[in-house]
Amino acid sequence: MKVWERVVEARLRKVVEICEQQYAFMPRKSTTDAIFALRILMEKYRDGQKELHCVFVDLEKAYDRVPREKLWYCMRKSGVAEKYVRVVQDMYERSRTMVRCAVGQTEEFNVEVGLHQGSALSPFLFAMVMDQLSEEVRQESPWTMMFADDIVICSESREQVEENLERWRFALERRGMKVSRSKTEYMCVNEREGSGTVRLQGEEVKKVQEFKYLGSTVQSNGECGKEVKKRVQAGWNGWRKVSGVLCDQKISARIKGKMYRTVVRPAMLYGLETVSLRKRQESELEVAELKMLRFSLGVTRLDRIRNEYIRGTAHVGRLGDKVREARLRWFGHVQRRDMSVISTEVTYVVGGLVFAWFVEECVWDYAITVTLLHVGLTVAVMADFPSTEHWWIAQGSGLVMMIFGGQLLAYHLFRKNFVHPADLQNF
């Protein structure tokens, strides 16, 4: 059955075009794209000293609430041939289920609403439904982003984001979906005094200072301390799951290191390519990693064994180097992509906020600049903005030089101050 579902899905994808705001189960898109786009957008507004209002909309039992009639309607409206509509209808005809628990199981009963759980075709059908239901209310990227039923609505004003939220609620609930009042949350970036709250049908939406978006924690103040702590916790959770293998003295250190790199480290690295880590936060991650490696190898700090020897024995490199490697890989990925992709487009959202991000250490643009210098590239990057402004990195000098407003400006990355053009000959 799953093979047949994948065949139908492949044929539907050839004729159905899903909106660019949808990230879930779309080719060449991932959770990292959505996380990166949201983080960069928040950084631009924070560094430009402007408010950004974000509402994270959650739908109640989204897959289980899709009306079958709306599904057939959305398929036809998306341009699906009638023969494929009938094929999907046959899959859902006379579908029955039962409830099984500790005391027994119920009799079978008909299921006349919702999508099949565990089906290979259901994710694309749901994306098709969301595409049609939100056609009249969604805005251009990056002001609206969707990952299946996780929706982010952004705006420069609280009144506008509240109005957009009400429009989304009306568009979804009149077609059988349900917006969760308890899980929908509101966050304001660079908040000023008296900015107020957002209401949904007279009910106040919960206001938060941090939100876990697609597994990555974003904070309203632009910091990433909470995300680092979450990554450390995720690493320890993964380590405990395989501690029986990692702490077994009969298993070689090489196998333990391979197990660690396969199970534990991906959990610690998730989403960090989109984050600008300070040295203190990078050290926090490396300290946690070394504790895990020492536990795995059966040594303690009292044994006075150097960290380099621990890493060499387990064949595990420095975590900071892996973070920089992932950041460079993601930077190249963004640079190669078409400008219509949200993760690339939002990188060049200027709106009068171009210059501030060169001086902040805790923003992604600064992090990638320092990373490029760290690996010793001759010409690290050259990016053209929508106008004639451009910037580049002088080889080995630690200078970011840019032409902005017809003037040559330079910022020293390590001294963290601006350099007068007349003094550039000294570098």
Phi, psi of 125 (to 5 degrees): -60, -40
Largest pairwise CA distance in the chain: 85
Phi, psi of 170 (to 5 degrees): -65, -45
Give the count of alpha carbons within 13 A of 384, CB side only: 4
In sequence order, the β-bridge partners of residue 151 are 57, 146
What percent of the chain is modeled with pLDDT above 90?
A: 51
Q: What is the pLDDT of residue 387?
A: 35
Q: Which residues contact 113 (CB under 8 A, 6 or more apart)?
A: 64, 65, 66, 67, 68, 176
Q: What is the pLDDT of residue 379?
A: 36
339-352 pLDDT per residue, tens? 555 555 555 543 43
| Beta pairing, strands 206-207 & 185-189 | parallel
Q: In a 3-state reduction of DSSP, which class is residue 116?
A: coil
Read off the pLDDT band of 419 (50, 70, 90): low
Domain spans, the chain: 2-219, 225-327, 342-426
In this prediction, residues 377-406 reach a mean pLDDT of: 43
Q: Is the pLDDT of residue 39 over 60?
A: yes
**For residue 400, what is the enclosing H or E element?**
strand 399-404
Q: What is the pLDDT of residue 390?
A: 42
What percent of the chain is modeled with pLDDT above 70?
A: 81
In sequence order, the β-bridge partners of residue 219 are 210
Q: What is the pLDDT of residue 352?
A: 38
Read off the pLDDT band of 376 (50, 70, 90): low
Distance (Å, whole) CA 275 – CA 39: 8
213-238 pLDDT per residue, tens? 999 999 998 889 999 999 999 999 99
262-283 pLDDT per residue, tens? 999 999 999 999 998 888 999 9
Q: Is the pLDDT of residue 362 over 50?
A: yes
Q: Is the pLDDT of residue 366 over 90?
A: no
DSSP string, 301-357: GGG---HHHHHHHHT---HHHHHHHHHHHHHHHHHHS-TTSHHHHGGG--TT-SSGG
Read off the pLDDT band of 211 (50, 70, 90): very high
Mean pLDDT of the chain: 82
Q: What is the pLDDT of residue 347?
A: 55
CA-CA-CA-CA torsion sign (210, 212, 218, 224):
positive
Q: What is the pLDDT of residue 344?
A: 54
Distance (Å, whole) CA 113 – CA 64: 7
Q: In a 3-state reduction of DSSP, which class is residue 256?
A: helix
Distance (Å, whole) CA 174 – CA 275: 39
Contact yes or no for 53/156 (Cβ under 8 A): yes
Residue 192 is encoded by which pair of tokens?
Answer: 């000023």
Q: What is the pLDDT of residue 204?
A: 92
Phi, psi of 384 (to 5 degrees): -95, 125
Amino acid identity, position 347: T
Q: What is the pLDDT of residue 334?
A: 81
Angle at 331 between CA 317 and CA 290, to 5 degrees: 20
Q: Which residues contact 88 (CB under 8 A, 6 or more apart)?
A: 8, 71, 72, 75, 121, 125
Distance (Å, whole) CA 54 – CA 198: 10
